[in-house]
Structure 1
Amino acid sequence: MSTVTAAARAHADDLAAFVAASPSSFHAAQEVARRLTDAGFTALDEQEGWPAQPGGRYLVVRDGAVLAWVVPASATPTTPVRVFGAHSDSPAFKLKPRPTTGRLGWLQAGVEIYGGPLLNSWLDRELRLAGRLVLDDGTTVLAATGSLLRLPQLAIHLDREANDHLALDKQTQTQPVWGLGSADSADLMGELADAAGVDAARIRGYDVVTADAARGAVFGSGDVFFASGRLDDLASVHAGVVALERAADGFDADHIAMLAVFDHEEVGSATRSGAAGPFLAEVIERVQLALGADRSEQLRGLAASWCVSSDVGHSVHPNYAHKHDPVVQPVLGSGPILKINANQRYATDAVGAAAWNGWCEAAGVRSQEFVSHNGVPCGSTIGPITATRLGIRTVDVGIPILSMHSARELAGVSDLHDLALVAEELFRR
């Protein structure tokens, strides 16, 4: 029977707190910045000049994305970068314009589906709203409610075939309830304004999504399981933050250690704060310019750089084994995964596999491989996007989970901790 270490349990407890503080991508970026600022990092403004001397710890936030890095005192114009990449968004429901709706005495929220959520998993659980509000003077404030909404399922008595086939209409059957009364005399934005401590009349724009209101929890025999919303991909974000905090103390590596947290991965990454946008390239260039690099030296630095793209992958499912490769079957609790795809949906190649296995060995961590069943095509990650945008050698990794894109996903406690250990090794070596 498997059990977990005290260190792994403590890591899971800290992840639960991190997820609770990060119900939206904007909150996640803010929480990363808060934790790293508390650890001695300096927040920079994109519109200001940046420090030119080697050494130091810095971060910059762009909307729901954040980049943080540590520059060694010995840095030169050709010093390479070690990037640990992840994303801050998750599948959810996003508020539409004029979101206060309802009928038949019920107040409902007008929402649009964001990404590819497992719709049925959002039924019959308490939800919160979270995101950013932009006010009439151009300032941005973050807002997060407590438990406020619910998508109530139709009773079995009214749909006798629900257990045989349940398919939700994405327009008419995914609008959650949040109160009783008439929509003409209610204001959902007022709930968000109250949560942010601002006047609802001042709100001129908003990006607001739903999140599971329940806190992450450790459970199972030997405390081997961890269930939470937004593990895809806050599990990787949290591992990267923990690793960078630890690696920053006494940092003397021959590379720049960088955490890259992007937004909008679940909808294609093609935004100013997504992996397909210019954020990472611009920050790396500014760091290189601050070190005095010319164009040739910039390219030399990139040629020696690495990106480890970390996202969740599928554990073999005991009830659906036929959906997985019959030989390569990663399982919770047996270590992080190396993600491989012949069609380059993942960026891993032989060189990347060798490097990843070396980092795992140095960290004392077991690793598993993941490959899709030939009849069940896999998704993709920020890995191929980053490799294409910057030409940095990239390897795709992560942790195995069940219930991917559910409102509440399932991970192994030891895998969460092991991923942070390998990320720290990446930063230090």
Structure 2
Amino acid sequence: MTHITDTTAGGSDPARAAAPGDAPAHAAFARELGEFVTASPSSYHAVAAAAAALDAAGFSRLSESEPWDAMSAGRYYTVRDGALIAWVLPAGSAPGTGYRVLGAHTDSPGFKLKPRPTTVTHRWWQAGVEVYGGALLNSWLDRDLRFAGQLVVRGADGSPRRVLTSTGPVARIPQLAIHLDRSANDGLTLDRQRHTQPVWGVGEAQDADVLAVLAAAVPTDEPVDPADVLGYDVVVADTQAPELIGAQQNLLASGRLDNLTSVFTGLRAMTGHAEELEAAQQVSVLAAFDHEEVGSATRSGAAGPFLEDVLVRIGAARGDSTDEHRRALAESVCLSSDAGHLVHPNYQGHHDPVNTPEPGRGPLLKINAQQRYTTDAVGAAVWARACETAGVSYQEFVSNNAVPCGSTIGPITATRLGIRTLDVGVGLLSMHSARELVHTADLFALHRAIGGFWRG
């Protein structure tokens, strides 16, 4: 269990009392994020870790397949596969009152296990994987890796059941020795099929079975037979522990900072401010979607109906008519929080020459003329007010005109629901690498700003 449950169970957040410049608080907060990342090698594990924190903070879990018409004021969450939506429904929330939504995502770029995943080449046991999202492939080479995700297995009564699995460090994508490719340092080119299949053992072909390793790693008193595995969603994850580095120990090096930074900071802000949010007018919502890195067009992604389904059912529980539901959406705001870019000291020419976000100067307000980010003037004012309420500074990010801009769930949410949406996030170096880098003060400031957004 991560420390997140220790600090939120009483409905208070120790980080709120710390000043924005409090380095020890920044470090403690970053360590807790690191523990959350370690517990969350896959989107399914991230949801399980978040659910445990919400349970400890007095939130009630609702099943999508059960009626919600008896839902009264209080704290709730629901899970759909690798996505989770949590909300605080205040007693004073009248029909037609809007929502304040924080949108984030639980997945990260990397590799996903293919069907028939076990292969053997010259006695090397390998796993067939497919590239997931826009990963920096070279960053995954020569790292100690694990497999993690969900299995669907045949239960004792024959019906399928879902279980989580996470191995220890069992795999590695080995690089070709420099002696066999003298030009490697002049420009490494990786073939996605031939050069990215991890090695996970040695022996005879008849003894190799990736599914057996996954089944053995299920944390249950009842052993899982590999023959009972009916399906799986399994990714490859780095096993190196997150670490505070730098001369002042104010940089966190870790995998999956894109975008567990937003999931964790949002989770901490919601559980830490829950009592205040219960006394608010608007409904506070944390929406942690899956599959953002591959376009979000799934039932648990931002382009799917998950958020709309939840908002419709919340509105129905408080008595919204169709007209009042539409009015509520018109009054709502979505803070789309995803990682952004700091100026890279070795590649300064890839950034806008005027808007130059730096480490430790606060989270980012992300702007793009092509609406790859959805921030407009009204959204910028919402963010300025949230940061003012929280007592933190922020920076603006805009792309160099010659460098294509990425995107987020922001445009998807705005298009899907018509909610005013703005894009923010914490700045990183090495985004989409197996191991990214963030300043601890920026993490802490994002957490405070999200709290300011919900309290605003």
TM-score, scaled relative to structure 1: 0.98
Deviations 1:275-331 (A, max 9, x none): 000000000000000001110000111111110000001110000001000111101
Report whether the alignment pairs 1:423 with 2:414: no
What is the match of residue 231 of structure 2? 205
Which secondary structure state, in structure 1, belongs to the residue aligned with residue 437 of structure 2? strand
**Paired AA for residue 308 in structure 2:** A
Q: CA deviation at 1:3?
A: 8.0
Which secondary structure state, in structure 1, belongs to the residue aligned with residue 108 of structure 2? coil
What is the match of residue 119 of structure 2? 101
C-alpha separation between the residues in 1 aligned to 2:21 and 2:424?
24
Which secondary structure state, in structure 2, belongs to the residue aligned with residue 68 of structure 1? strand
What is the match of residue 225 of structure 1? 251
What is the match of residue 186 of structure 2? 164
What is the match of residue 194 of structure 1? 216
Q: Does the 8 Å CA contact 1:4/1:223 hold for their aligned counterparts?
A: no
- Extract unaligned runs of 5+ from structure 1: none
**Paired AA for residue 315 in structure 2:** Q
Report whether the alignment pairs 1:112 with 2:134: no
What is the match of residue 15 of structure 2? none
Q: Does the 8 Å CA contact 1:54/1:75 hold for their aligned counterparts?
A: no
What is the match of residue 24 of structure 1? 42
Report 1:281-320 matches (<5 A): 281-320=308-347
**Paired AA for residue 158 in structure 1:** L
What is the match of residue 75 of structure 1? 93
| Cα pair distance change 1:3/1:44, threshold 3 Å | closer
Q: Does the 8 Å CA contact 1:345/1:384 hold for their aligned counterparts?
A: yes
Q: CA deviation at 1:7?
A: 1.4
Q: Which runs of 4+ in 1 moved over 3 A?
A: 51-54
Q: CA deviation at 1:352?
A: 0.2
What is the match of residue 261 of structure 2? 235
What is the match of residue 401 of structure 2? 374
**Paired AA for residue 173 in structure 1:** H
**Paired AA for residue 61 in structure 2:** A
Which secondary structure state, in structure 1, belongs to the residue aligned with residue 297 of structure 2? coil
C-alpha separation between the residues in 2 aligned to 1:79 and 1:34?
29
Q: CA deviation at 1:402?
A: 0.5
C-alpha separation between the residues in 1 aligned to 2:47 and 2:72?
25
What is the match of residue 396 of structure 1? 423
Greater alpha carbon shift after TM alignment, 215-224 vs 61-70: 215-224
**Paired AA for residue 43 in structure 1:** R
Q: CA deviation at 1:332?
A: 1.6
Q: CA deviation at 1:156?
A: 1.1
Aligned residues: 428
C-alpha separation between the residues in 2 aligned to 1:222 and 1:252?
40
What is the match of residue 262 of structure 1? 289
What is the match of residue 146 of structure 1? 168
Q: Does the 8 Å CA contact 2:39/2:49 hold for their aligned counterparts?
A: yes
TM-score, scaled relative to structure 2: 0.92
C-alpha separation between the residues in 2 aligned to 1:116 and 1:211?
15
Q: 1:84 aligns with which of 70, 95, 102?
A: 102
C-alpha separation between the residues in 2 aligned to 1:387 and 1:274?
14
The percent identity for this pair of structures is 58
Which secondary structure state, in structure 1, belongs to the residue aligned with residue 160 of structure 2? coil
Report whether the alignment pairs 1:364 with 2:391: yes
Q: Does the 8 Å CA contact 2:93/2:280 hold for their aligned counterparts?
A: no
What is the match of residue 135 of structure 1? 153
C-alpha separation between the residues in 2 aligned to 1:183 and 1:85?
45
Q: Does the 8 Å CA contact 1:243/1:420 hold for their aligned counterparts?
A: yes
- Extract unaligned runs of 5+ from structure 2: 1-19
Deviations 1:101-144 (A, max 9, x none): 12111111100000010000000110111000001222100100
Report whether the alignment pairs 1:340 with 2:367: yes
What is the match of residue 353 of structure 2? 326
What is the match of residue 74 of structure 2? 56
Deviations 1:72-94 (A, max 9, x none): 11111112111011000000111
What is the match of residue 410 of structure 1? 437
Which secondary structure state, in structure 2, belongs to the residue aligned with residue 124 of structure 1? coil
What is the match of residue 8 of structure 2? none
Q: CA deviation at 1:242?
A: 0.2
Which secondary structure state, in structure 2, belongs to the residue aligned with residue 421 of structure 1? helix
C-alpha separation between the residues in 1 aligned to 2:198 and 2:205?
13
Which secondary structure state, in structure 2, belongs to the residue aligned with residue 57 of structure 1? strand
